Structure 1
Amino acid sequence: MPVLLFTGPCGVGKTTVALEADRLLEEAGVPHAMVDLAVIGACSPRPADDRWNERLVHANLACMWENFRRAGAERLVLSRTLEHRSLLGSIAEAVPGAEITVIRLTADLGEVQSRIRSRESGRDPRWYLNMAEYLVDKLATAAVEDHVVSNQNRSAADTAREAMRLAGWLDIER
């Protein structure tokens, strides 16, 4: 089961690019599903021993994947911040037969911070800004990805096309 996972720091455009991949796959008639893993773990209170609700995320993904599969999905697009490749094991358990390709999206820290300030308008962006600064450096050396794709000064659709080309998913040259 082909799985394409977009990762990167807060504000790099993981969800936006995943949604573009979703749109491109739909236009191409490819049966698939798309899930933002951060969204399906949004539940409070969080267990003291599971700060990011990983167990809930992967339990929800397993249920969702079963439903998506029954509905005809043959591929899965995911977005999440992935700091360690070991976390892919939980995805593989939730999606039997998963063949996961990880795409790390990049953009300059200034661009990422600008996106965060724009998207968090009306809310305090400090946590996201601090986390983005940490993750830009951390992910540059963490080697969690199979491929690196820049999401700087280009459309999300172009970024998604390049990612899917690198993953061998589609011939979507236009």
Structure 2
Amino acid sequence: MALTEGHAVTGRTDREGGGPGARSSVLLLGGRSGVGKTSVGHEIHEQLSQLRIRHCLIEGDNLDLAYPPPWEHGLAERNLAAMWANYRELGYRRMIYSNTVSVRFVDALTAAMGDDPLVTAVLLTADDATARRRLAEREKGTALERHIERSDLMARELERTVSGRVHRVPTDGRTIADIATGIIDLTGWATEDREAGAP
């Protein structure tokens, strides 16, 4: 599986996501806390739904949200494999997957999907001031400082470790709708439908 620059298209696709043998596609959204992953992911979902493009949205943070954290058991990948198998059985071929570090673990996540998907990987970015303002809008009390510290550290870590082939998409001073529209363009999903002659 190769990480693509933007998108690649194999075979015929349509608004239903292609036939039983159609190759799947995944959009990986990563980024620091406060960058807007959840909001952007849901806006992409809304825009694709309006275009009647068949897809699913999975929030990776929920796949192994437990205490103590079960990281050593690969639970997120196991749960992703089970969920995607269910979606795939129902004919879905496009997935939006949102998680802070998803763009660092492209191989592991696509291996869990099990069907050699075409990949568009996007690292959402925001400066410290923007991320802190957004975190302050949703976090209260002592948790806020902890989230800010972790967000600042993760931003540096992601910038240092994420492949240069991953799309960097700034979110500072932009509307959620504008960001989502640009990312949909990167996937090529709407273009695939037009080329396939979908209504």
Fold shared per TM-score above 0.5: yes
Which residue number corresponds to residue 99 of structure 1? 118
Larger radius of gyration, structure 1 or 2?
2
Where do 1:87-126 residues align within 5 Å? 87-95=105-113, 96-122=115-141, 124-126=143-145
Q: Deviations over 1:39-62 (max 9, x none)?
A: 121122224xx3xx6711111111
Cα distance change of structure 1 residues 2 and 160 upon mapping to structure 2, 3 Å threshold: same
Q: Percent identity?
A: 29
Bigger Cα displacement from structure 2, 97-106 vs 119-128: 119-128
CA contact (8 A) 1:84 1:142 kept: no
CA contact (8 A) 2:31 2:124 kept: yes
Which residue number corresponds to residue 28 of structure 2? 5
TM-score, normalization: structure 2?
0.76
Which residue number corresponds to residue 95 of structure 2? 76
Q: 2-side partners of 1:169 and 1:83: how far apart? A: 20
Which residue number corresponds to residue 13 of structure 2? none
**Structure 2, unpaired ranges of 5+:** 1-23, 192-199
Cα distance change of structure 1 residues 125 and 169 upon mapping to structure 2, 3 Å threshold: same
| Equivalent residue in structure 2 for 1:38, among 61, 65, 81 | 61
| Equivalent residue in structure 2 for 1:153, among 165, 173, 192 | 173
Where do 1:42-81 residues align within 5 Å? 42-47=65-70, 50=71, 55-81=74-100
1:131 CA displacement: 1.1
CA contact (8 A) 1:41 1:54 kept: no
| Equivalent residue in structure 1 for 2:50, among 22, 27, 30 | 27
1:167 CA displacement: 2.6
1:64 CA displacement: 0.5
TM-score, normalization: structure 1?
0.86
Does residue 15 (structure 1) correspond to residue 38 (structure 2)? The answer is yes
CA contact (8 A) 1:58 1:90 kept: yes
Which residue number corresponds to residue 196 of structure 2? none
1:110 CA displacement: 0.4
Q: 2-side partners of 1:155 and 1:54: how far apart? A: 38
Q: 1-side partners of 2:27 and 2:139: how far apart? A: 27
1:83 CA displacement: 7.3
Q: 1-side partners of 2:128 and 2:63: how far apart? A: 27
Q: How many residues align?
A: 166
